[in-house]
Amino acid sequence: MSIPDTELSPDDFSRRSFIRRAGLLGAGAATASVFGTATAAAAHGGGDDDGGDLRWLAGDHHIHTQYSSDAMFRVIDQAQHAQAYGLDWIVITDHGGPQHARIGVERVNPDILATRNALPDLLVFQGLEWNIPAAEHGTVFVAPGRNEVAVLKEFENTYDASVVGAGPSTPANEALAIAGINFLGQAVKRRRVDAALFLANHPARRGLDSPHEFRGWRDADPTVAVGMEGAPGHQAASIPAPQGPGSGRGFYAGSPTADSFPGFPPESYRTWGGFDFFTATVGGLWDSLLAEGKPWWITANSDAHSIYLDTAVRGPGSNFDVNGFYNDPVHGGVPNTGAGDFWPGLYSRTHVGAKADSYRAVMDGIRAGRVWVDHGGLIRGLDVRVDGTPLGGVHRVRRGTAVELTISVDLADKPNWAQFLPKLARVDVIRGAVTGVAADKDTFTAPQTRVVKSFEVASGQRRVTFRYALGRLDEPFYVRVRGTDGLRSQPGFLGASVDPVGPQLDVLGNSDPWSDLWFYSNPIWIIPR
Amino acid sequence: MTSVHIGLDRGDATVAAAEHWLHELLADIDPTDVMACTHFVSTPTPHVAVSLALPRALTLPDPAAEFAEGARIARDAHAAGTAGRAVVFPGQDRMTGVMSVADLLAAGAIDRIRVLGSAAPPAPSTEVDTLGYLRPQWMDGRLTLLTQPANSGRLAPFEVADQRGCCSDH
């Protein structure tokens, strides 16, 4: 990380001392709605949070290793690449499952501890990819500490759908998912771990995460269940065969199953501009959650299992079923054109506004929604404010007060990892009314959300700042921001009046991930005092 | 022409299992004018039922009591053309390789071709790569093939045969 220790406050000075400190995070620190009063500000970053002293730490919360049945690398392999490609934090998330619950969840830990020592400037969290009962997969991770393995292991053995056989979309299995989130919240309350977070992975891929399940997870414990992947990993998956996998971008190439939510349109099973339908659709599922005035954040990550054009192969003599891991990879000599993943940090980044260079600060930043994401190094930095309130925050003013949005973008000034300088073409402002709790828990549209302003970006600058008057506050609303290289667009799924030039439905087996770059911010709410 | 609709349900968990059963059921039947569909049913728990449309009546065993409702739902949806994913349908064997939209529509039972993310129907000359696997669906009373933009400017079916394994793989 670029911040020297001497610049850290005494409180944050030593990551090690942080790890020893237990229970600093009250699980009641967040609340369910921005309509709340005293606790609302805390839910979005603290009452005194002007966001003025944030360090933006880039990371990836969805990475597999040799402890996953469908992956292959050591922890240090993934970590070294993550650091080389500029990441500050990563989460190791091997698949939950019988072998992992019995062997991998424990055995990966010494590898993670060794990697923390070997790469002291990289934050390496231990987590797992949760097979959510009755739903898709999710990232679950905890703050490092003496109970990190014990909490994850108990969680996996009790609540992982593939361990306990709870896959089908039944009410009992949905309840088990809620119980799992509550377990994590209790683990924090009882100070077994300092913090625990859950983020839904590839949420629209197979239609398994129904709208009411998102609401149920979030409302069960908003200090734990905080969001979803805005963009899935596997962004190389649609590079054409035979040079690439030739599948759907993000390996989104499926169609409904018996367990899919029947209300989702077929378009939801595909990515749009590399992003998941729930995030890419203006006025769609994500906006329907934000319109309730409740936090729900988006992220982006690699989901790295095996790497496009990498030449390593699984270690000879491996027996995953018996051992719970693959032997260390060896050089195979042949570029892997069937792999659909990029190394962590090479393409997808989740930027977290942290108040310190620490595990706790990254988790606090994610929980507070101080998060924006980008693909292909589209931009270098992003600062979105509503009169000083940063991303994820609630700007609370009297009715009638004039409100202004400021978007400052640090444009890319160096080539990305495909060796070209990305050019931001346009920035869009998306605004939605806060309409309160949805009567129908399966609502997945927000009819009062649309793109309200687009700014063209002139080239040849290092930093651009756009100001946009949001008018005098009458009813509560939120804003979020999106930007693109402008190379691929079409009217949004809900029509050109909602999103005239939105992301394009990705082409099966032929989407160049480097010629269709987007960034997305999380929202800021503006609420009458 | 078709005169009888039959719903069947043994509680298959997956589309693949239900398709396998359909092929067993139809093994000794003249396929002319036969349409066989799978249906997603949520009662008593989410599973896959099947339906048949046949030119003449056929005696088949009644479903178990717990799946009677699923069988009825499947039959009614097929008869009304509101839902059902066709596994066997008239003209299927003439729909292979790369065909134009116009030729696909002329070849058999598919009434309409839709393109994901597009409100407009595809031009009749647009090429569709069938990828050897077509599963048109009943929607609004019309047997509809959902397609998506694919390589080389062609369309490809929304549902593809070799779907990535969904539980342990990624």
Does residue B141 fall inside a structural domain?
yes
- Quick one: pLDDT band at residue A34, thresholds 50, 70, 90? low
Residue type, B18: A
- On whether any CB of chain A is under 8 Å from the CB of B149, the answer is yes
Q: Report the domain count for chain B.
A: 2
Residues B133 and B61 in one domain: no
Residue with the bigger pLDDT between A38 and A452: it is A452
pTM reported for the whole predicted model:
0.92
- Structural contact between residues A249 and A237, judged by C-beta atoms closer than 8 angstroms: yes
User: What pLDDT score was predicted for residue A126?
Assistant: 98
Q: Tell me what pLDDT residue A21 has.
A: 34
User: Which residue shows structure tokens 């069947």?
Assistant: B8
Task: State the architecture of A55-528 in CATH terms.
Answer: Alpha-Beta Barrel (3.20)
A305-314: pLDDT as tens digits: 999 999 999 9
Residue B168 inside a domain? The answer is no
B167 lies in some domain: no
Question: A419: which residues sit within 8 A by CB, 6+ positions away?
Answer: none
Tell me how crowded residue A529 is: count the other CB atoms within 10 A of its CB.
10
Work out the average pLDDT over A109-138. Answer: 98
Whether residues B150 and A504 touch (CB distance < 8 A) is answered with no
Instruction: Tell me the pLDDT band of A33, cut-offs 50, 70 and 90.
Output: low
Cα separation, A116 vs A108, whole angstroms: 12
Asked, for residue B165, whether it belongs to a domain, the answer is: no
Which ranges of chain B have pLDDT less than 70? 1-2, 162-170
A415/B contact by beta carbon, under 8 A: no
**Whether residue B84 is found in the same domain as residue B110:** no
B128 and B83 co-located in one domain: no
Tallying the residues shown for chain B, one arrives at 170
pLDDT score, position A416:
98
Determine, yes or no, domain membership for B19: yes
Which residues constitute the domain of residue B100?
Answer: 92-157
CB contact under 8 A, B168 and A305: no
* B123 touches A: beta carbon within 8 Å: no
Q: Calculate the average pLDDT of chain A.
A: 91
Q: Let me know whether B53 and B102 are in one domain.
A: no
The yes-or-no verdict on residue A379 having pLDDT over 90 is yes
Do B139 and B80 lie in one domain? The reply is no
Q: Are residues B99 and B84 in the same domain?
A: no
* Higher-confidence position of A462 and B62: A462
Looking at residue B62, what is its pLDDT? 82
Q: Are residues B102 and B153 in the same domain?
A: yes
Report how far apart, in Å, the C-alpha atoms of A280 and of each of A21, A274, A285, A451, A505 are: 40, 9, 9, 12, 10
Task: Check whether residue B72 and residue B119 sit in a common domain.
Answer: no
List of chain B residues whose C-beta atoms are within 8 Å of the C-beta of residue A303: 170
Q: So what's the pLDDT on residue B2?
A: 63
Average confidence (pLDDT) over A168-187: 97
Q: CA nearest B11 in A: which residue?
A: A258
Pairing of the two strands A89-95 and A55-63 = parallel
Rounded Cα gap, residues B14 and A468, in angstroms: 51
Residue of B nearest to A64 (CA): B170
**pLDDT at residue A507 is higher than 50:** yes
Strand ranges (E), B105-149: 112-115, 127-129, 137-139, 142-149
Position B58 scores a pLDDT of 81
Q: Is B68 within a domain?
A: yes
**Are B8 and B82 within one domain?**
yes
**Comparing A35-39, A399-403, B152-156, B158-162, which segment has the lowest mean pLDDT?**
A35-39
Same domain, B82 and B96: no
Domain boundary among B56, B88, B120: B88
Q: Is B77 on the interface with A (CB under 8 A)?
A: no
A504 vs B contacts (CB less than 8 Å):
117
For every residue of A134-182, DSSP letters joined together read TS-EEEEEE--STTHHHHHHHHHHHH-HHHHT--S--HHHHHHHHHHHH
User: What are the strands of the beta sheet with A402-411, ordered from one edge?
Assistant: A379-386, A402-411, A463-472
Q: How many CB pairs under 8 A join A and B?
A: 85
Interface of A with B in 377-406 (CB under 8 A): none
A279-293: pLDDT as tens digits: 999 999 999 999 999
Query: Phi first, then psi: what are they for A155, rounded to 5°?
Result: -60, -50
B48 with B21, same domain: the answer is yes
In a domain, B170, yes or no: no
Neighbours of B27 (CB within 10 A): 7
Is residue A386 classed as helix, strand or coil in its secondary structure? strand
Is B38 inside a domain boundary? yes
Give every CB contact of residue A52 below 8 A, 6+ residues apart in sequence: none
ipTM (interface pTM): 0.93
Domain end call among B30, B61, B88: B88
Residues B29, B82 within the same domain: yes
Q: Choose the closest CB to A508 out of B42, B150, B163.
A: B150
pLDDT of residue A460: 82
Q: What is the pLDDT of residues A311-360, one digit of tens each?
A: 999 999 999 999 999 999 999 999 999 999 999 999 999 999 999 999 99
Question: What's the pLDDT at A125?
Answer: 98
